[in-house]
A and B are shown apart, each in its own frame.
Chain A
């Protein structure tokens, strides 16, 4: 199998941009990635575009030049960007192409996402009675987890405060203002135990990654970042998942656990080798749970690790160094490629004020979303 390297990354800032279309943001992200890779659009042989709101991300080609390349549109819930990345990588791994682009873009309105619950496999009445809300699921999952593993409300506030603090250091973030733990805890209770400032918001933005056969990557950049693993997994029977009117008594692990184990195996490394981490922090509780689901600690150890500052930029397990979803918001199609953008900056040593010390070598990114899909990517210098 051909190895794959990242030779360019580009980001359109995450936030709110008036009339600017998601397609135009996607085109800006691709242009930035092309510049970063030092190549021109006609050298790109194929692409995958991910979005929730845009029916045809393929329209981005009309902004970049209609070169006739195969361009495939993907949507896979909050794991959309991981899916675009994996499919782009697989197309190169198969030997079919040398250079391709994965791009994600979205432009959401304010507030929670809306869809028809039937399209998620939920009963038709599920939304009518007020159950079709992802925020409620995340709240119930962390509430049980806090009960089982001794995680405190203060820990949730610490996670959110770190997200906002890291966002201050990230010029591309939606939220760039520090918020105190006291203000986070006393903000409006949206879904107990999660308050308003413990949640991310749907917003707007785009990100792009240019992938290339690893054996020719140095023709384009002196610092290729190798994509060591990409995995996707859906929920198994017994997992407690979002948008489900029931859960089995017989429990199984969340899809993230399976995606993570498979990624470590594919990369031939373990969680102890990872230097910088991006986790799906739809809410502060999700970051806590995902630390354990991705093998970075045992259940319950988060309480002490977070109190000790180990998940800060200078800690032993730097998590969501760019502010994560909490500071960046979640344009679904772009979110996972934003994680990859940040990891590439960290591994190249170009993350500026957010730079993890000690020249990190291995980066890890995880996505999770409805209706129970997880994606993991592992990168290294």
Chain B
């Protein structure tokens, strides 16, 4: 089974510890995601690649309850579509990024909860190729804690 990233410049992968690929302005140091051609803060065109922290906290979230229209390429139909979670994840002092969440139940999501980056299946193409995307998952309680 072949797995491919949905886009090559968005996260480091294959990797056991994938990271989102952001950009850091060489002039004003502001960090954005994905890496832009120029800085949204100062307009500088010197923006270097900057790998973002893998863990962060949930700043806000929603659920996508209906099948998005084109150009959405998830491959579902209205019949097969399952709502997915979407959130803004605060990555330390770097930046807040918008991401799919592995959890789609609002009752299981809390603003401020800790999350970690995953690379997860997005769709399976007719030739069997699995297209992978990035998503943040709630960090499980450490072993032994709360058991």
Q: Which residues of A contact B (CB under 8 A)?
A: 111-112, 114, 116-117, 123-125, 127-133, 136, 139-141, 143-144, 147, 188-194, 237, 240, 244-249
Task: Produce 1/0 per residue, B61-103, CB < 8 A to A.
Answer: 1111110111111100000000110111010011111101000
B residues near A188, Cβ cutoff 8 Å: 65-66
B residues near A246, Cβ cutoff 8 Å: 22, 32-33, 95-98
A247 touches B96 (CB 8 A): yes
Complex A-B: 26 CB contacts under 8 Å = A123-B10, A127-B70, A128-B73, A129-B6, A130-B100, A133-B64, A139-B62, A139-B63, A140-B62, A140-B87, A144-B88, A144-B111, A147-B111, A188-B65, A189-B83, A191-B65, A192-B61, A192-B65, A245-B33, A245-B98, A246-B22, A246-B33, A246-B96, A247-B88, A247-B95, A248-B30
CB-nearest residue of chain A to B32: A246
A residues near B72, Cβ cutoff 8 Å: 127-130, 132
Of the four ranges (under 10, 10 to 19, 20 to 34, 35 or more), the interface on chain B belongs to: 35 or more
**Is B14 among interface residues, defined by CB-CB distance under 8 A?**
no
A residues near B69, Cβ cutoff 8 Å: 111-112, 114
Q: Which residues of B contact A (CB under 8 A)?
A: 6-7, 10, 22, 30, 32-34, 40-41, 59-66, 68-74, 83-84, 86-88, 90, 93-98, 100, 106, 111, 122, 133
The complex places the Cα of A246 from the Cα of B90 at a distance, in Å, of 9
B residues near A112, Cβ cutoff 8 Å: 68-69
B96 touches A128 (CB 8 A): no
A residues near B133, Cβ cutoff 8 Å: 129
B residues near A192, Cβ cutoff 8 Å: 61-63, 65, 106
A residues near B40, Cβ cutoff 8 Å: 237
The complex places the Cα of A133 from the Cα of B72 at a distance, in Å, of 10
Contacting residue for A130 out of B7, B64, B88, CB 8 A: B64
B95 touches A136 (CB 8 A): no
B62 touches A143 (CB 8 A): yes
Question: Contacts A125-B6, A248-B41 given: A189-B96 contact, CB under 8 Å?
Answer: no
Q: Which residue among A141, A147, A245 has the maximum number of chain B CB atoms within 10 Å of its CB?
A: A245
**A129 to chain B: closest CB distance in Å?**
6
B98 touches A128 (CB 8 A): no
CB-nearest residue of chain A to B68: A130
A128-B72, A133-B68 known; 6 other A-B pairs, CB under 8 Å?
A140-B88, A144-B59, A147-B60, A190-B66, A192-B65, A247-B88
A residues near B86, Cβ cutoff 8 Å: 130-131, 136, 140
CB-nearest residue of chain A to B105: A192
A residues near B74, Cβ cutoff 8 Å: 129-130
Contacting residue for B34 out of A111, A132, A245, CB 8 A: A245
A residues near B33, Cβ cutoff 8 Å: 245-246
A191 touches B64 (CB 8 A): yes
The complex places the Cα of A136 from the Cα of B111 at a distance, in Å, of 16
B residues near A117, Cβ cutoff 8 Å: 71
The complex places the Cα of A244 from the Cα of B133 at a distance, in Å, of 18
B65 touches A249 (CB 8 A): no
